[in-house]
Chain A
């Protein structure tokens, strides 16, 4: 058997279990959102916490043979995206006391985790593991950044959806169940703030990591340029409202654009720059 994972029963069980837990959490959030189910309303948060704890334990088991170092395989990155999305969402849910958007965010988490599991079962390679604290923080912060960008994009989409529905007198299901426009705006602000913080850490940790490994920083490196562009856009979006009087509608369009841009850039870089940040299947 090429895939070593399949020989480890505990890891096989945990891999399946984590995906299952995500599906259960999404189902509970969905059942509460769409059907107002009391059971789902009561148990969705505990289910999410159990999912996150199990997921962290799972990553611990998965990386134990490599001395708890993450590697750059696409399955590892996908599972980390799933985890960070869930963690950031949970933090936003607790800090804003808004629990009606979980279905939309966690659906992405569940999708990413299921994809990660499938890739883990079908692939034979692991991809290179990173070494050094700086580069480790760089990678983690980058994953958190991407998740924040994704969440900001998704909330922006929900904001636009609700805004249009109210404008057009369509007082249907989403009008009934989504948080109000001001709350969605607050959620966007939180996600953007997280995103900017993690992007800054990604940038700094990347530089420190390069210094640690005596790598010469190439200012024309496409990855660096892309990261700086996204970082600047995010920083810009934090102050754009105050500086230029942009309304939330324009902000929402910008954040959706940034999410699409970031995803596209990551995909392009993974295709055209196979070394270091390259993703191993």
Chain B
């Protein structure tokens, strides 16, 4: 039984191509249903995120291969003009499993170790379960992938450290102040960047967040959403600068919103207590001269990128540990796959012995009492269990190569004179 994975991702295709083949949840369900109904797949799953659209398929027909599936997806999305098979990657069997493990562990992500991908893999599996396209193989594959991701998260540092500017800003603030809940924060600008930084601060228990924005209603809306309900009119926030320990600026404006004399005055008022100014604006919102003031930590996007680069470097250093976990799980998964191949023989073996048992017991049905017959049945069950224990154990035993399995199966089938094996997949 083979598992094929094909797909486009950030490594194989540019964003225009990825957009053309991406599938919404509704489309994914329709696509999976088609694959099953057309007997193209016995099992199938779709993983569609902003950076990848990938299919995981247990083929239903001999002619279904990687190329077939690529063409099928391109046709489904009606993207013949833009998307070509060369934009796809293609993997088989163990490499498919390895790929999904790497995806779930976030080491195949655009941002190494990002935290969203596992949820997206789980969504893909949920959709497959909902349309009943996930069978025994994909279920096991996905659950192993979830377990790999969990191990990677707990046993390595692949997900540690900030890798976004807004989160790096929070990480920096935590390196200066021990308890953000005790600090007063001013957010200048209620746009997307500012909002993200405020949310990260909120997640780290910062509650005293005051928002100011040129459009006051936007500031009020964000303050309400965060639950802080603290806003300052844009015209008067400068009068209160000395009250804040952390100031985040993220506005689209040409002139500086904070200048050196203003901050010098505010520092005197707060008796030189340290202040962090996180300038997330582009162009910069804060006069760089402010950084030279005593106990003033002014950090712009470039400075925060230093933190991101350092964290990414630390994450990259964890890759060998992640690969080791994946390798270990891959061995276990491979061995489980092998047991699928011997399962029909085990079933045949058990059926054959049960048949013999029933035939022999039938001969005594009218010669002994019902109670004695039950005792004989229990006795034969125990004997059969012991006789079959070793052959079944031998069949299920781990193998070095998959080639060993047919010889084992044939040996058992010949010894016990089992009928020709059916092409069962279950």
A residues adjacent to B (C-beta < 8 A): 36, 162, 166-167, 169-172, 175-176, 179-183, 186, 245, 247, 249
Q: Which of B157, B177, B271 contacts A180 (CB 8 A)?
A: B177
CB distance from A227 to the nearest CB of B (A): 32
How many B residues touch the partner, as a band? 20 to 34
Query: Is A247 within 8 A of B310, CB to CB?
Result: no
Q: Are A171 and B176 in contact (CB under 8 A)?
A: no
Complex interface: chain B residues within 8 A of A170 (CB):
306
- A245 and B272 within 8 A (CB): yes
* Other-chain residue from B175, B272, B303, B307 in contact with A181 (beta carbon distance below 8 A): B175
Contact B272 A171 (CB under 8 A): no
Is B350 engaged at the interface, CB distance under 8 Å to the other chain?
A: no
Indicate if B295 sits at the interface (CB-CB under 8 A).
yes
- Which residues on the A side are within 8 Å of B178 (C-beta)? 179-180, 182-183, 186
Provided the pairs A166-B297, A167-B297, A171-B306 are in contact, do residues A245 and B271 lie with their beta carbons within 8 angstroms? Answer: yes
Whole-angstrom CA separation of A183 from B177 in the bound complex: 8
Which residue of A171, A183, A249 contacts B310 across the interface (Cβ within 8 Å)? A171
CA distance A175 to B162 in the complex (A): 13
**A169 in contact with B177 (CB, 8 Å):** no
Q: Is B274 an interface residue (CB 8 A)?
A: yes
Question: Is B174 interfacial (CB 8 A cutoff)?
Answer: yes
A172 to B307, CA, bound (A): 9
B307/A247 in contact, CB under 8 A: no
Given contacts A181-B274, A245-B271, A247-B272, contact A166 B175 (CB under 8 A): yes
Question: Min CB distance, A93 to chain B, in Å?
Answer: 16
Which residues of A have CB within 8 Å of B176?
166, 180-182
Inter-chain pairs besides A180-B176, A180-B177, 7 sampled, C-beta below 8 Å: A169-B306, A171-B306, A176-B310, A179-B178, A181-B177, A182-B176, A247-B273
B294 within 8 A of A: yes
6 tightest Cβ-Cβ pairs between the two chains A and B: A182-B178, A247-B272, A245-B271, A169-B303, A171-B307, A180-B175
Write out the residue numbers on chain A whose beta carbons fall within 8 Å of the beta carbon of B175: 162, 166, 175, 180-181
Tell yes or no: B172 within 8 A of A by CB.
yes
Q: Are A172 and B295 also in contact (CB < 8 A) when A166-B175, A166-B176, A182-B177 are?
A: no
In Å, the complex CA distance between A180 and B183 comes to: 14
Collect the chain B residues with CB atoms within 8 Å of residue A181's CB: 175-177, 274
User: Can you pick out 8 interface pairs between chain A and chain B where the beta carbons lie within 8 Å of each other?
Assistant: A171-B310, A172-B310, A176-B314, A179-B178, A181-B274, A182-B177, A182-B179, A247-B294
